[in-house]
Amino acid sequence: MNRMSGPDTIAALAGPKCLYVDSSALEHNAREVKKVLGSRVKLLAVVKGDGYGVGGVEAARVFVSAGADYLGVSSVPEGVELRKAGIRAPVLVMNPILKEECVTAIEHDLEVAVASRQGVFDIADASRRVGRVARIHLEIETGLGRTGLPVGTVAGVLEELRSQEGVRLCGVFTHMAEAHRDEASFRQFARFQAALRHVPPGLLRHVANSGTFLRFPDMRLDMVRIGTLLYGQLPFGIRNAALSLKSVWDFRARVLFIHDVGPGDTIGYGGDYSARRPMRIAVVSAGYSDGFGLTAVSRPKDLGDLARYIVKMVLSYLGKGRGEGGAVRFECGVAPVVGRIGMQLTMVDVTGLPVSVGDEASVSIRPTAGARLPRVYLRDGAPYLIRMPWGEMRPVEYEKSIDVE
């Protein structure tokens, strides 16, 4: 029995809540994408935003071992974090960087996107100061309306690059706005193709994010930049994919306290939930600091919307329905939230459920919100690594040998 890597160890190390991240699922998803790509098209695994919330460093390690050729981040500090963790794969910083960051980028062997003529001068200048070649990818703006060189300026910037010795052009790319729409995608791709007429051969040409990769095989070119699919999600506007993706994360929070209330008792801040019957209330260690309950408050758009809203309120008045705050899921059943969700604590109705203090509930969040949550990494269902809220990585095996004496 591997007691030390069981739930007791997790609680002892990580506290009452953590984001479980299934590294086997990350690896599976990367291999699924690789299978479709074959050996000719490279995979850039996007690990920006702390690996879409699951932890950028560990996600990067898993993707590289599953065959990713490149890693993509959005800023220089994210790239530096990968290098400090000993990751040596090519890393592309996909967003424009500041002049002040150019030296750091070159020193850490990060490839950078350049999206303006000034960007060429800044990186060339830094390359002279560091005494090392800077590797860049030119970004071309084709319709997202965000960053990149207008198609008409590409020839001039390439001309400029020829006279900058310290700068090596490695790739050229654009980013798609609406991969779920045909016409907009074709229009962007055609603009990109037009810009490519000025570009010398032998560069990495890359366009496709998850949605584009799925819907337009012709747009995969030399490399695809995939995030969403690797994390087991489908891109916006796409309902199914010819890939078998596995879900990657599960946020679990423990019950810290249980109490009984009677009719007329109020629950939570503001006193705006009033019990109508005897209830058993569990207090769960999750709140809006973890990204729980952060759904936008919206105003009904039309009468239909208003009617739905009223039905929900009536159901909630009658003690039926899920309530506005959502619900958490125990192994033995679903418990609706009652009262306001707090920063760190949430009350749920467990009347009739055999829930005890210390039990774990699954809580649905976007992991990008819970930046300070511990991440517990699982391989084949067993924990092997914990990232503590302060960033320290603790192998679970290591803990085992300490606790055994």
Ligand X SMILES: *Cc1c(COP(=O)(O)O)cnc(C)c1O
Chain positions contacting ligand X, by CB under 6 A: 46, 48, 94, 175, 209-211, 225-228, 235
Rounded distance between C-alpha atoms, residue 331 and residue 100, angstroms: 51
**Which one, 136 or 363, has the nearer CB to ligand X?**
136
Output the CA torsion 181→182→188→191 (10° steps). Answer: -170
| 269 counts as catalytic | yes
Question: Cβ–Cβ contacts within 10 Å for residue 333, how many?
Answer: 12
CB of 29 to ligand X, least distance (A): 11
Rounded distance between C-alpha atoms, residue 216 and residue 180, angstroms: 10
CB of 228 to ligand X, least distance (A): 4
**Which one, 143 or 235, has the nearer CB to ligand X?**
235
Give the CA distances from residue 315 to residues 271, 276, 305, in Å, rounded to whole numbers and listed in that order. Answer: 19, 13, 15
Q: What DSSP designation does 302 have?
A: S
Catalytic residue among 35, 84, 269, 398: 269
**Which one, 23 or 228, has the nearer CB to ligand X?**
228
Rounded distance between C-alpha atoms, residue 377 and residue 52, angstroms: 15
CB of 147 to ligand X, least distance (A): 9
**Which one, 73 or 161, has the nearer CB to ligand X?**
73
CB of 211 to ligand X, least distance (A): 6
CB of 36 to ligand X, least distance (A): 14
Rounded distance between C-alpha atoms, residue 189 and residue 112, angstroms: 22
> Angle, nearest 10°, between helix axes 117-130 and 154-162?
20
Question: Cβ–Cβ contacts within 10 Å for residue 344, how many?
Answer: 17
Rounded distance between C-alpha atoms, residue 391 and residue 405, angstroms: 27
CB of 347 to ligand X, least distance (A): 35
Give the CA distances from residue 391 to residues 14, 21, 50, 301, 334, in Å, rounded to whole numbers and listed in that order. Answer: 12, 15, 11, 43, 32
187 contacts: CB under 8 Å, gap ≥ 6 = 142, 143
| 312 counts as catalytic | no
Name the pairing type of β-strands 149-150 and 167-173. Answer: unpaired
Residue number with the shortest CB distance to ligand X? 227
Catalytic residue among 48, 52, 70, 377: 48
Please answer whether residues 166 and 121 qualify as being in contact, where contact means their C-beta atoms are separated by less than 8 angstroms.
no
Residues marked active site are found at 48, 269
